[in-house]
Amino acid sequence: MGKIKCVYAIVSSDQPGNDSPVYHDVNVSGLAGANTYAVSFNGISAIVSDFDSEGTKLDKTSALKFAGVIEELALCHCILPMRFGTFFESKEAVLEMLKKHCEKFVHCLGTVKNKYEYCLKVFWDSNLYQSKIESDSVKTDKEASKLVSGTSPQTEYLLCKLKEHKKEEKLLEYVESLIEEIDQKLVHLDPMVKSKKMVSKSLILDAVYLLDKKYKDAFIYEIDSFNKQHEDLNLLLTGPWPPYSFADINAI
Amino acid sequence: MSENKVLLNSGSMDDLAAEMEKFENKVSSRIDANPDNVDSGLAKLVLTLIELLRKLMEKQAMHRLEGGSLTDAEIERLGETLMKLETKMEELKMIFNLKDEDLNIDLGPLGNLM
Amino acid sequence: MQESVINKSKDVTLLEILDRVLNKGVVIRGDIVISVADIDLVYVGLNILISSVETMNKMQCSSIKSSELRL
């Protein structure tokens, strides 16, 4: 028909694996109420819908609708969510894409099969941050002054930078010890983990975990116990999510 | 979707408020992109790259300082170079009317730039 | 009081959802480029660049303590 295709996700196909492409309807309503359907090839399917680029705005509402489609698909499929904003010219173009990346998709789908993703954010009271930093910094400031001595503006500048740098390193050490602790607690659940440290002055850890669906309660229990052992930290645990963070086939 | 995905939360979620506001601004600036702000999008990208390189150089400089093997003259020169770079960066930011938060993109494994 | 917690949970959930669809998931270059995806593509390139730089940085840092390096 000439309408461009919006791609929502790659799923394991319920069509038998073969080399000839198959197209069939999927019972989920997509963007702007368009019907979703599957473009299948060799055991995997791209779930797409027709998209009217003139008519439908790409805004928060459509992004949320897009996420809704993924959640619904995730209920009965092993799924790799696409990033919002992936469009192709035609069914054939989608098929080409599937063919091109087939192996990587299959591999990735295997990794996320029967697993949930969870997101743990650890916040630190920024006032507490200040006082903790101040108490450690006396020592690190002294170390810095030993390394950079001089009175010119250039050395003053450098000394200032070095002091800051040392403070950040100490903070990083603390966050890494927290990560170590969490890893210990979760080791028996065999998770895949990706984490970002020091995202901001208050968000000191942003981690995502991929683990088997059956470990959901055990996982929550362990995070809760970590929470109880660190009264001075604020935790936010969300999930279960489709494997957004573990889906990228190009991730290095 | 009215689901609630929050499994566990300690604290009052107020500390989230600041993060959420920052994030919300990022989201709306990306998702409401139009030809008028694409240009500033390009400037943002270029400056972010430059800022990234500058920060990497700064980090390398710190490691060298901690190594303790630099002469006084080298330390002077290092300080001067870093100072000049930072000043230049501030100038560029002013020209393009960009603040630190605008350049703070998500770098995946490196976390945020700042 | 209870209600505000519930509302905050919903807000948090919404933001987490948006974060996921905009910043995560499979990234494939579609042949059509629409404004959101347009900016996205540029960031994709940057992400890949950054990963390589980080690896390079790690490699250099391990040798920085023992050898001389020109900045």
Instruction: Give the model confidence (pLDDT) of A217-226 as tens digits.
Output: 999 999 999 9
CB contacts, 8 Å: C57 with chain B:
56, 59-60
Asked whether the beta carbons of residue B83 and residue A154 sit closer than 8 angstroms, the reply is: yes
Q: Does the beta carbon of A199 lie under 8 angstroms from any beta carbon of chain C?
A: no
Q: Does the beta carbon of C1 lie under 8 angstroms from any beta carbon of chain B?
A: no
Is residue A250 scored above 80 in pLDDT? no
* Gap between the Cα atoms of A243 and A99, Å rounded: 22
Is residue A180 helix, strand or coil? helix
Q: pTM of the entire structure?
A: 0.79
| Cβ density class A224-234: b for 16+ within 10 Å, e for less | eebbeeeeebb
State whether ipTM is beyond 0.90: no
CA nearest to C43 within chain B: B45
Q: What is the CA radius of gyration of chain B?
A: 19
Quote the minimal CA–CA distance from A41 to chain B in Å. Answer: 30
Per-residue pLDDT at A181: 96
- Residue B51: which H helix or E strand, with range? helix B35-67
Place A79 in a pLDDT band, splitting at 50, 70 and 90: very high
pLDDT in tens, B74-113: 888 889 999 999 999 999 989 888 877 777 655 544 445 5
Asked whether the beta carbons of residue A248 and residue C48 sit closer than 8 angstroms, the reply is: no
Pairing between β-strand A4-12 and β-strand A87-88 as defined by DSSP bridges = antiparallel
Contact A200, A124 (CB under 8 A): no
* Gap between the Cα atoms of A140 and A130, Å rounded: 15
Asked whether the beta carbons of residue B4 and residue C13 sit closer than 8 angstroms, the reply is: yes
Asked whether the beta carbons of residue B5 and residue A220 sit closer than 8 angstroms, the reply is: no
Asked whether the beta carbons of residue C37 and residue A86 sit closer than 8 angstroms, the reply is: yes
More confident residue, A183 or B21: A183
CA nearest to B75 within chain C: C71
Is residue A229 scored above 70 in pLDDT? yes
Q: Does the beta carbon of C63 lie under 8 angstroms from any beta carbon of chain B?
A: no
CA nearest to C58 within chain B: B60
More confident residue, C54 or A203: A203
User: Which among A126, A154, A197 is the nearest to B79, CB-wise?
Assistant: A154
Angle between helices A153-186 and A126-147 (to 10 degrees): 130
